[in-house]
Chain A
Amino acid sequence: MNIVILGCGRVGTTFARLMYKDGHTVTVIDMQSEAFRRLGTRFKGNRIVGNGIDEDVLKRAGIADADVFVAATQGDNRNIMAAQIAQHTFGVPRVIARIYDPIRADRYRQLGIITLCTTTIASGLLRDFVTTNEWGLAKDYSAEYLAQNV
């Protein structure tokens, strides 16, 4: 698969290395070139410095031919906008955005973006482990969150 990842933080880096090791074509985008140091020397995928909500930067990263686009920067809104550019402007078949805010994660899921809300997943896993002493499955806990908070 052809995979474009926006955001070379811990999640972006770890995911990029996993996919690269599995033999996929991987391109990582980050605003700061120092962030690429995290990728290490064994990662031979592409590194693109630039703003992920700039169409030209996404084009340089080969988004037009991407099978999967993953937005995992620290900014929810940046991830949301980049994901929507990938989906609407470039027609990427699978678009995934990491979103910390459970409400935004839910609403943009309804708009067709696959959203990964690590806030609800991590807290749900913790709750299950603390109460049962066993790790549950990393299913999406957002429905439960929404039922309690909205």
Chain B
Amino acid sequence: MNPNRPMPPRWAENLLEHLLPEHTREDIVGDLREEYAEALLPRYGRFGADLRYVRHVLSFLPAATRESTTMGVILIGVSVITAICMFWLAAMEIVLRHPLYAHRAALDVVLGLVCLATICIRLLHPPRTLDERSLRGIGFLLILFGALAFFQNAGSAHFEGFVFVISLLLMLQGVLMLLTLGRIVPGDQSRTSR
């Protein structure tokens, strides 16, 4: 191999190799390396070519997350941590009895239960238990709760590092849920039954 030959970003190519199943890895990585050297680099220059190459690599992410169990394992891990945090927060609210503690404790318990539901759904294989729309709904709900907690905490005078971490975990959990449980179909690929 010629060491002076233009190469796509090494990290992106490694990521691509990681995302692809073994039986298609060799040809797709080769195709995109060829595309990078022969089309993207001469047309867009180094920076533009790198960006476009990374975009191609990221386009394999939805399929990879659907197929691999890695993201599912991460999702379960994050859900467990968040569930523990939420139940712990609920317990603290009840012990400390700040104003509106009952409402906040209830919300914490609900979120904890959502996390437990996420774990159960993931373990039981979602298509048999809930439809795609419900799963997407739960994912978006988690992102929404996470974002609300994040911005409310960021705007408050008394910044809570713990709430900050939980809000990030909730958002991550929502995104992982959408990626692993929902079906993301690129473009118009559906086949309509006659």
A is bound by B: no
> Chain B: residues with CB nearer than 8 A to chain A?
none
